[in-house]
Structure 1
Amino acid sequence: MTESFRPERLEVVLSHRDSGGVVLVLYGELDGGTALKLEQAAAQLFAAEYPPEILLLDLSGLSFLSVAGARAVLAVHETAGMSRVRVVTGDRPAVREFLHATRFDAVLDCYRSRVGAIAAGSRAEFVSHVKTIWDAG
C-alpha cells in the first residue's frame, strides 16, 4: 500500500467542547487517504444526542490539503444538519491559498483565526442581526 493511503498522516484532535460548540484541530495531511478520518469524527459529533451548534474546523495545523481533502471539509459542511461549520485557515498558504484558488472559500464559512471564527457569534446572534437588517429595509 502506498504512503497516500495511511490515515495516520492526519490527526484529528477535539481541543474544546462546550454547550455551544466544538473545536476540531487537524494536524498533518488532509487528502483522499485521510479524508474519511475527518468525516467520521464530524459524523460522530453530529449524531450525538446534543450536536454542537457550531463546529469549528481548525485547519491551521495542516501541512498539506488536496482537492479530496477540501471535498471532505465541504462534505462535513453539507452533512452538518442544524450545526454551523466554520473553518479556520490560519496563515498557512497550503490551506488558505488552496481554498481561495479552488473557490471553496466562497462556499465555506472561512476565518483566518479561531478568534475571528468565535467572534462571528452564535446562530441566534446571526438571526437577530439578519432580522434587524430585513426590518430596516
Structure 2
Amino acid sequence: MTGPSRHERLDVVQSHRDSHGVVLVLYGDLDAGTALKLEQAAAQLFNTAYPPEVLFLDLSGLSFLSVGGARAILAVHESAGMSRVRVVTGDRPAVREFLHATRFDAVLDCYRTRMGAIAAGSRSEFMSRVKTIWEAG
C-alpha cells in the first residue's frame, strides 16, 4: 500500500463567497510539493467571467510554510489580474515571522485576522476614500 500523495498534504477549502470576495482557507503544508494545488484553485477563481474582487488566502490552518509555498502565494498575487489578494496569517507566529523574515510581507497585503482583511474594504471603497482626499486638498 502506498502512502498519501504530496497533494494530499494540503487542503484548499473555499469557505465563503459573496459578490465582493472569496475566502480560501489552507490546511496542512504549503511547500514546493503542494504549491500547484493552491495555484490551480486560485486560477479557477480568476479565470471566470466574474472573478472575485478580493481573494482572501487564509493561512491560519497551515502547519508548515516553505519558501516554495511563499512563492506560490506570490504567484497567486501576481496572477490575480484585477482581483486583489489579501493574506491572513492568523495566530501562527511561524507563518507571520516567515513571511516577514523573507520579506514577502513587504509585497503581499498581509493581515493578522480575517476580519482585519475584510475590514480593509473593497476597491470601490478605497477609490471613494482617495477621491475624497484629493477633492479636499
* Matched position secondary structure for 2:19: coil
Q: TM-score, normalised by structure 2?
A: 0.94
Supply the distance in 2 between the matched residues of 1:132 and 1:97 (Cα, whole angstroms). Answer: 36
Q: TM-score, normalised by structure 1?
A: 0.94
Moved more, 66-75 or 122-131: 122-131
Supply the distance in 2 between the matched residues of 1:10 and 1:28 (Cα, whole angstroms). Answer: 5
* Matched position secondary structure for 1:94: helix
Deviation at 1:123, TM superposition (A): 0.2
Q: Which residue of 1 aligns with 2:34?
A: 34
Q: Which residue of 2 aligns with 1:118?
A: 118
Supply the distance in 2 between the matched residues of 1:64 and 1:101 (Cα, whole angstroms). Answer: 15
The AA in structure 2 aligned to 1:71 is R
Deviation at 1:136, TM superposition (A): 3.3
Q: Could you list the per-position Cα deviations for residues 61-95 of structure 1 after superposition, in whole angstroms to 9, with x for gaps in the alignment?
A: 00100011001001000000010100000110221
Deviation at 1:128, TM superposition (A): 1.3
* Matched position secondary structure for 1:117: helix
Q: Which residue of 1 aligns with 2:71?
A: 71
Q: Which residue of 2 aligns with 1:47?
A: 47
Q: Could you list the per-position Cα deviations for residues 14-34 of structure 1 after superposition, in whole angstroms to 9, with x for gaps in the alignment?
A: 000111110000000000000
Supply the distance in 2 between the matched residues of 1:31 and 1:88 (Cα, whole angstroms). Answer: 17
Does residue 135 of structure 1 match 2:135? yes
In the alignment, structure 1 segments of 5+ residues that lack a partner are none
Supply the distance in 2 between the matched residues of 1:76 and 1:130 (Cα, whole angstroms). Answer: 26
Supply the distance in 2 between the matched residues of 1:94 and 1:56 (Cα, whole angstroms). Answer: 19
The Cα RMSD (Å) is 1.3
The AA in structure 2 aligned to 1:95 is V
* Matched position secondary structure for 1:51: coil
Supply the distance in 2 between the matched residues of 1:124 and 1:17 (Cα, whole angstroms). Answer: 18
Sequence identity of aligned pairs in percent?
A: 84
The AA in structure 1 aligned to 2:52 is P
In the alignment, structure 2 segments of 5+ residues that lack a partner are none
